[in-house]
Structure 1
Amino acid sequence: MAPQSTFVAWFRNSSPYIHAHRNRTFVIFFGGNAVGEADFDNLIHDFALLKSLGVRLVLVYGIRAQIDEQLAEHGDTPKFHHHLRITDATTLQYVKQAAGLVRVEIEALLSMGVSGSPMAGAQIRVASGNFVTAKPLGVLDGIDYCYTGTVRKIDAQAIHQQLDQNNVVLISPVGYSPSGEVFNLSAEEVATEVAIALQAEKLILLTEQSCIDPASGTALLQLTTEQAAELLNKTPALPDAVARSLAAAMQSCRQGVQRAHLINRHVDGALLLELFTRDGIGTLVSSTAFETIRPATLDDIGGIMELIKPLEAQGILVKRSREKLEMEIGDYIVIERDGLIIGCTAFHIMADAGSAELACLAVHNDYRNGGRGDSLLNYLVSQARTRSIRRLFVRTTQTLHWFVERGFTPCSVEDLPAPMQSAYNYQRNSKLLYKDVL
């Protein structure tokens, strides 16, 4: 029963994300290295699953590896300047061949429907086309980049039309000029410009390695655009592929894309883990913080009740009805993480306006030991000082030492403000503490 219970719990926890992603536009970039590997079909299966769940899917593929293979086969040497390929007339022929071969390979895999396979019944239709108008990069630092180009315009209307017809849109890193010329483009740039033009909900960049904090050596789970810019500026040794993807994520979020994700494609199922689990597995980049502390609203009542219900059942918190929460919602503060309420507390100001009660401090079980209780307490202390409140009181049955360690002092019922004295439940026998904040 354990595996079944695990599956049921995972499926239930993923349901909010299934609802949230339906009918949303995701632009997904992956490099040419991924296409040539034996397990690429697993990634195709994950794309098909996203499509079956109602995601409007735009796939942008790279061909750097395939171009290098063509050059090596013909004894030609790749030419780069500032990490950009110089595309002469000969190289351009290899670009055309690589783009066509990779496109056909991806379309073939997306067309599979063998009974008993993950693609059974998928019936995915793929649309490709001249959605990208390009212009030559020109001459930089005295170097002529020839047929290496940059994006001039994305035909967003045409892409939306294909998505509206329930097609997966497949875009190569090749652009066309109004005069009929063909240009080799950066696939990351194409994916970024497409996401911006479509105002996509997500830009997802499947990278060759994880985005690592150089200081700690640990994976970076989330960054604001400001933090991403700081990381790029202060870490010149950041791997080039990661730096390109991070710059793409930062640019897209600054220009209207809600969120960008850097995901290590070598982790099996990483795309699904990132999109359908609470904490994900990659690096999330957004223009605003992924997790915020803010005043609660009426829309948060369901999340607050779900959060405090286990603690009420254990007797740690006093039971609160929905009606009481609705009446006092203006006193509540919540921690919101990706739409989920993972922490809350209440701040009841006494009639004398010189003191207040800290109540209903709770953090979701999966997010304890992460300093979030301290964050809520610090937020309330700051609010108290702003409102010229001198003293905070708290009643607790289970967390006396936690408050003592944070500067609270035990007190008696007689020390409480009059409203708290009259409401004190002697049967519950809560411990009482206070903290001077001014």
Structure 2
Amino acid sequence: MKSNDWLHGFRHSSPYINAHRGRTVVLTMPGDAIEHRNFINIIHDIALLSSLGVKLVVAFGGRPQIQSRLDDAGLESSFARGLRITPDNHLPMVMEAIGGLRAYLESQLSMGLVNSPMHNARIRVSSGNYVTAKPVGVLDGIDFGYTGRVRRVDTRGIEQLLELGHIVLLPPMGYSPTGDAFNLSYEDVGSQVAAALQAEKLIVFIDDEGLLEEDGSLIRELSARQASERLNDNAVTGHDAALLKAACDACVKGVRRAHIISYVEDGALLEELFTRDGSGTLVSGDNYEQIRQARVEDIGGILELIQPLEEQGVLVRRSREMLETEIDRFVVAERDGTIVGCAALYHYPEEGSGELSCFAVDPSYRRAGRGDEILAMVEKLARGQGVHKLFVLTTQTEHWFRERGFVPTAVQDLPGPKLASYNTQRNSKVFYKPL
């Protein structure tokens, strides 16, 4: 029998396609990825993203290529603080290696063979002096020479190219007003450019499937705060620490999501962007904002949030005593110490279903996607509890739920205990969503 798995996946990718169209995504590509046999598949995936209307910036590195060029010239490399020291006599070889990589990437993105995934792609690739750099200088008595850091990003110039549909290619080089060129780390370029553009996502390629725990298991998700704590505790070391710091810094500066994914695994980029579970490690933005399990000390904030909705008849009234006994069922969205959203999940294990209840978002944050983020958290918790069907009772927000995959059902379809307590005077409509 012919498998239709591809059809199912293609249909379910449409919400993600719509969500990413017109958004800016910054990709950071290490030189090791460019030499890997899977790189041609990454090129094809970049072409596909471009054809789907994603605005792409590619910041690439060239450490192995630079090392090879210096070795050929008989020059010895030195490193400190994870950075290559670039004396003036090394700079020409660095520029030569990076220039060759830029030309190679442009050639790969220009492919259009009839029998290739890039047939008729006609991708326009642009690069230039969009990164102003400054020297690292002397640290711990070590002169880093022409090794630099990002000083300023020409966001207007990059955005104009993105609006024209170009892929913007950024080498690990920056230039100064004095006419000097500096060797930069590609992680710094990617992170700083993503932050300057307020990009929707920063994609960081790595040789593993993502960041790993000590036992080798994949770390699926970290908030910027959790990522910073791991870095401070030296729980992540080596080059992985530099990559995580780049992701964390970008999120703190306004990038909503950073994704650390594999350049070895075919399709990791598409899986991360177009499937629910993704393929690597997600670092989420705003370390002063988080969606988490509620605690007893949140009760005051929850009551303040839901009271106006209770008075309007949107929510069923809940006493402080009830909240105290059911607080473990709640999740909250906290921003800078204030509860700006909440929801509760009631599990009915015999029916394999769960109820989304007491769903509230502060009016000031309803257009910022907080409701969607809280719903995603509840759905994640529900799946973890074995819930196959999530239902909600509502009197005034029918269309919001329908737009998010909930479909109407009869009151009689409610789980037995919920049906027995159904308030006919409220006459709430019932909607469910399969998980």
Query: TM above 0.5, one fold?
Result: yes
Cα RMSD (Å): 3.8
Classify the secondary structure of the residue corresponding to 2:90.
helix
Change in CA separation of 1:33 and 1:158 when aligned onto 2, cut-off 3 Å? same
CA distance 1:140–1:369, change in 2 (3 Å): same
Q: How does 1:380-395 map to 2 (within 5 A)?
A: none
Whether the 8 Å contact between 1:290 and 1:338 is mirrored in structure 2 is: no
Structure 1 position 205 matched with structure 2 position 204: yes
- The residue type paired with residue 136 of structure 2 is L
Structure 2 residue aligned with 1:164: 163
Tell me how many residue pairs correspond in the alignment: 345
Cross-structure match for 1:367: 383
Q: Structure 1 residues 37 and 217 mapped into 2: Cα distance closer, same or farther (>3 Å)?
A: closer
Note the C-alpha offset of 1:40. Answer: 1.4
Paired with 1:210 and 1:7, the residues of 2 have a C-alpha distance of: 23
Q: Residue in 1 aligned with 2:324?
A: none
Q: Which runs of 5+ in 1 are unaligned?
A: 298-310, 321-328, 345-362, 377-394, 404-412, 424-438
Q: Does 1:274 align with 2:286?
A: no
Please report the TM-score for the alignment, with normalisation by the length of structure 2.
Answer: 0.70
Opposite residue 367 of structure 1, the aligned amino acid is R
Aligned partner of residue 285 in structure 1, secondary structure? strand
Structure 2: which amino acid aligns with 1:59? Answer: V
Q: Aligned residue for 1:43? A: 42
Paired position in structure 1 for 2:253: 255
Correspondence for 1:183: 182
Amino acid at match of 1:3: S
Change (3 A) 1:259 1:343: closer
Deviations 1:41-61 (A, max 9, x none): 111000000000000000000
3-state SS, counterpart of residue 260 of structure 2 = strand
Q: Return 77-86 or 238-247, whichever deviates more.
A: 238-247
**Native 8 Å contact 2:352 2:386 kept in 1:** no
Aligned to 1:287: 285
- Cα distance between partner residues in 2 of 1:132 and 1:338: 35
Distance 2:255 2:272 in 1: 17
Whether the aligned pair in 1 keeps the contact of 2:39 and 2:263 (CA below 8 Å) is: no
Task: Report if aligned partners of 2:291, 2:377 keep a CA contact under 8 Å in 1.
Answer: no
Contact 1:95 1:184 in 2 (8 A): yes
Structure 1 residues 112, 332: closer, same or farther in 2, change over 3 A? same
Shift of 1:249: 0.7
The CA deviation string for residues 145-181 of structure 1, in whole angstroms up to 9 with x for no partner, is: 0100111110000001111111110000001110101
The whole-number CA distance in structure 2 between the counterparts of 1:290 and 1:10 is: 30
Matched, 1:95 2:111: no
Contact 1:26 1:57 in 2 (8 A): yes
Separation in 1, partners of 2:381, 2:137: 56
Closer, same or farther in 2 for the Cα pair 1:142/1:7, shift >3 Å? same
CA-CA distance at 1:235 after TM superposition = 2.9
Q: Check whether the contact 2:134–2:151 (CA below 8 A) recurs between aligned residues.
A: yes
Which amino acid in structure 2 is aligned with residue 180 of structure 1? G
Distance 2:63 2:17 in 1: 33
- Which residue is 2:107 aligned to? 108
Mapped to 2, the partners of 1:135 and 1:365 lie a distance apart of: 46
The amino acid across from 2:143 in the alignment is D
One-letter amino acid matched to 1:101? G
C-alpha distance in 1, partners of 2:178/2:111? 37
Work out the percentage of aligned pairs sharing the same amino acid. Answer: 42
Distance 1:224 1:145 in 2: 33
- How far does residue 76 in structure 1 lie from its aligned partner after superposition? 1.9
Residue aligning to 1:31: 30
Counterpart of 1:74, as a letter, is A
Given that residues 63 and 102 in structure 1 are in contact (C-alpha distance below 8 angstroms), is that contact kept between their aligned partners in structure 2? yes
Cα separation, partners in 2 of 1:275 and 1:340, compared to 1, 3 Å:
farther
Report the Cα offset of residue 399 of structure 1.
8.6
- C-alpha change, 1:337 and 1:280, in structure 2 (3 Å) is farther
For residues 173 and 317 of structure 1, what CA distance do their matches in structure 2 show?
52
When residues 291 and 277 of structure 1 are mapped into structure 2, their CA distance, relative to the original with a 3 A threshold, is: farther
Amino acid at match of 2:283: V
